[in-house]
Amino acid sequence: MIDNGKESIEELIVISNIILSVEEVLESISKREIHSIFREIKQKDRKELDTAVLEALGLNPKEYLPRIYKGITELVKERLELPKMRKKKKSQVVKVAYDQIKEAVIKDIIPNGCKEISRSILYEW
């Protein structure tokens, strides 16, 4: 059953206004270059779009938008740092492997350690 009451019409008007505002902002954004998330969240039209979407979902943009932006930027930072962390860990593993091989070779070849060479032998060379 369709409710043709005043409340339903008001809800449709609100939804219609939200759709129009989202369409206007989308048109603005579609005409410009999209930037990195760190720069994008500072753009006026991006904030307007995100605000309109949150309002359409019934959420308070002043409360949720800063949290959303912070969460997204943290995720992107972590994602950008991940290859650096992997490379660093890989180089540490290689160094550990090199040190272990070095110690094993020393134990096998010189089990009792190096002997001191007398200075007189060195001077003869």
Q: Give 55-108 pLDDT, tens digit per residue.
A: 888 889 999 999 999 999 999 999 988 887 777 766 665 666 777 777 777 777
Structural domain includes residue 1: no
Beta-carbon count within 10 A of 12 CB? 10
* Orientation angle between helical segments 6-30 and 44-56, nearest 10 degrees: 150
The predicted model gives 114-122 an average pLDDT of 61
pTM above 0.85, yes or no: no
Per the structure, the complete domain to which residue 43 belongs is given by 6-124
Number of H helices, E strands in the chain: 5, 0
Please give the tally of structural domains in the chain. Answer: 1
Structural domain includes residue 118: yes
